[in-house]
Amino acid sequence: MSERAHHYKSDDGLTLYCRDFDATANGGVTALCLPGLTRNSRDFIALAHHLQPQRRVLCPDLRGRGHSDRDPEWKNYQPPVYVRDTWTLLDGLEVQRVVIIGTSLGGLMAMVMAVQQPERIAGIILNDVGPEIAPEGLERIRGYVGETPSAANWDEAAARTRAVYGQALPDLDDAGWLAYARQGWREDANGVPQPDYDAGIGRAIREASGEAPDPWPMFRALQCPTLVLRGAHSDILSEAILARMHTELPALQSETIPGRGHVPLLDESPSLTAIDAFLAGIDASK
C-alpha cells in the first residue's frame, strides 16, 4: 500500500504533517480522516488501507499531535484553528472535494467545514460525536487530557491507555492494548514512551472561556449526506442526543456499534459495513 508523508506550513508558520494514501485504482471521492482530541493519524492507518483500493485517503496530524509541530501558544488549540489548518492542507494539495470521516473532535471539525464550504464536502461520517456533548463525558475528558505522565516502558503505557479507555473498549486483550498505546504514544529521544500530544491541549480545554454558540443551528444547516456511528455505551453521544439529531436532520443515517463506548475504532465489522455502504452512495452520486 502506497503512503507518502506530506509536510506543509500553517498560516502562522508551524510545520504540519499528513499521511497521504494514494488510491490503488481510479475510484471514489477522496477521504479526509480527522482524529480525536488527543489522537493522531495513526488511528486511521488500518481504515486507510481498507479504503485505499477505491479512493485516496488523507490523514493529518492536527497541530500539537503526532508529527506536527507543537504550538508555543496553547490558546491556539481550538477548533477554528484546526479547521483553518485543514483548509490549508486541502488547498495546498489542490484537493477540491472530500468526504470527511471525523472522530470526536474531528467530527466537530467536519460539521464546521461542511457549513463553511459546502460545495467541497461530499459527505461526512461522525464517529461518536454530535452537535452536543453529554456533560459526563466532557468532564471525564477534562480530567485526563494533559495530565498523563510519561511511562517507564510500553507495558506501563498500555496499562495507562487501558485505564483511560477500558470502559469504551472492553474486549481488547493485552496485545490490543499495547497496539492501541502505540497509536497514541511515542518514544522520546531517550526511548521513554510519552503521550503523543502537547499537554497544552489539556490547558486549552480546561481554561476555555466564554459561552460557546449553540451548535444545533450549524447541524441543521448541513446539506451533505451524513452518517453517525455511535458507540452503544458512549458517554459523549447519548441516545437522547442521537434521537434529537434524527429529528433535526431527518435524512441523517446512523449505526450503533455494539461493545463500544467513546469511540468505535472503525475496524469493527458494523463500522466498516456502514462506512462502505455510505461511501458507495457518495461515489454513485458524484
**Residues facing residue 59 across a β-bridge:** 19
Q: Is residue 267 part of a domain?
A: yes
Residue 207 resides in a domain = no
The segments of the chain whose pLDDT lies below 70 read 1, 146, 209-212
- Domain membership flag for residue 230: yes
Residue 160 lies in a domain: no
Assigned domain for 144 exists = no
Asked whether 132 and 216 are in contact (CB, 8 A), the reply is yes
The answer to whether 102 touches 110, Cβ cutoff 8 Å, is yes
Length of the chain as a residue count: 286
What are 204's three cell numbers?
486549552
Q: For 179-214, what is each residue's pLDDT tens digit?
A: 999 999 999 999 999 999 999 999 998 887 556 678
Secondary structure of 244-260 in HEC code, one letter for each residue? HHHHHCCCCEEEEECCC
C-alpha cell at 259: 461493545
> Any idea what the CATH number is for the domain that residue 76 is in?
3.40.50.1820
pLDDT of residue 139: 84
Domain carrying residue 70: 3-137+214-285
Bond from prior residue into 145 cis (ω within 30 degrees of 0): no
Residue 187 pairs in a beta bridge with 193
For the chain, what is the domain count? 1
Whether residue 279 lies inside any domain: the answer is yes
| Residue 280 is assigned to a structural domain of this protein | yes
Sheet containing strand 30-34, strands side by side: 3-9, 15-21, 57-61, 30-34, 98-103, 121-127, 226-231, 253-257
pLDDT for 214 equals 86
Does the residue 174 lie in any domain?
no
Q: Output the pLDDT for position 1.
A: 63
List, for residues 1-45, the tens digit of each pLDDT value: 689 999 999 999 999 999 999 988 778 999 999 999 999 999 999
Whole-model pTM: value is 0.96
